[in-house]
């Protein structure tokens, strides 16, 4: 099954995490890179940006005690709103309402998520629908939403003991055409970040 981009939130080892995976048929030549308090998705060939401006963005942003995850530039806006004091659910809902779905040839839904402590949030904006939901995360819980097929908020088997293992587990989820992945994992001094792109 091809589900496109995946946003996930969860709690494992009594620590919360946010995970992300790029699955792509049109632009599989991409990588994820940790840059400061963000993880960025970029094309390996910069000329691909002329074909589609949506293929590069921060997929994870850390702001204070919150990790934000998304499949586009909405991650930056959500993080800024949270940094200004807005509650994560409101930041996700307002941003998705403002941006809506991506105006590309597939009308790709915009996805977003966040985790803070034992609370998590997921959101999706597609044609004719915008949804956002808060989750109380128990140890062992993980939930996902994807751009295609898996557009409801549903449980997923995703876990690890650090950011790197969660990023790799996200890459290995049993859906078609994985490209790269990323994760933020709640550590003792804030969120640790990891990116995974196979060689």
pLDDT band, residue 138 (cuts 50/70/90): very high
- The answer on pLDDT for 139 being more than 90 is yes
Q: How far is CA 61 from CA 18, 46, 152, in A?
A: 10, 22, 23
Task: Give the per-residue pLDDT at 199.
Answer: 84
Task: Give the per-residue pLDDT at 74.
Answer: 98
What's the chain's average pLDDT?
A: 96
Cα torsion 47, 127, 41, 38: sign:
positive
The mean pLDDT value for 82-109 works out to 95
pLDDT band, residue 131 (cuts 50/70/90): very high
Helix ranges (DSSP H) in 19-162: 74-83, 88-99
CA 35 to chain centre: 16
Q: Choose between 47 and 163: higher pLDDT.
A: 163
Task: Give the per-residue pLDDT at 61.
Answer: 98
Task: Give the per-residue pLDDT at 141.
Answer: 98
Contact criterion met (CB below 8 Å) for 40 and 59 = yes
Task: Give the per-residue pLDDT at 190.
Answer: 95
Structural domains of the chain in order of their starting residue, each with its CATH number: 6-196 (3.60.20.20)
The mean pLDDT value for 83-89 works out to 98
- Each residue of 153-199: pLDDT tens digit? 999 999 999 999 999 999 999 999 999 999 999 999 999 999 999 98
What's the predicted TM-score (pTM) here? 0.96
- The answer on pLDDT for 105 being more than 90 is no
Interatomic CA distance for residues 140 and 88, integer angstroms: 22
The mean pLDDT value for 12-37 works out to 96
């Amino acid at each position: 099954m091809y589900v496109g981009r995946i946003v996930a939130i969860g709690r494992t080892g009594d620590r919360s995490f946010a995970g992300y995976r790029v699955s792509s048929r049109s632009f599989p030549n991409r990588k994820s890179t940790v840059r400061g308090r963000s993880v960025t998705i970029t094309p390996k060939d910069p000329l691909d940006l002329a074909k589609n401006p949506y293929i590069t963005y921060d997929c994870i942003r850390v702001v204070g005690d919150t990790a934000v995850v998304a499949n586009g530039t909405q991650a930056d806006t959500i993080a800024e709103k949270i940094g200004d004091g807005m509650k994560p659910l409101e930041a996700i809902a307002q941003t998705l309402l403002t941006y809506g779905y991506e105006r590309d040839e597939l009308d790709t839904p915009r996805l977003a998520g966040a985790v803070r402590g034992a609370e998590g949030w997921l959101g999706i904006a597609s044609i004719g629908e915008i949804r956002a939901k808060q989750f109380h995360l128990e140890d062992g819980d993980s939930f996902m939403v994807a751009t295609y097929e898996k557009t409801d908020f549903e449980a997923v088997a995703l876990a690890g003991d650090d950011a790197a293992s969660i990023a790799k587990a996200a890459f290995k989820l049993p859906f078609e055409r994985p490209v790269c992945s990323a994760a933020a994992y709640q550590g003792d001094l804030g969120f640790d970040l990891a990116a995974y792109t196979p060689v």
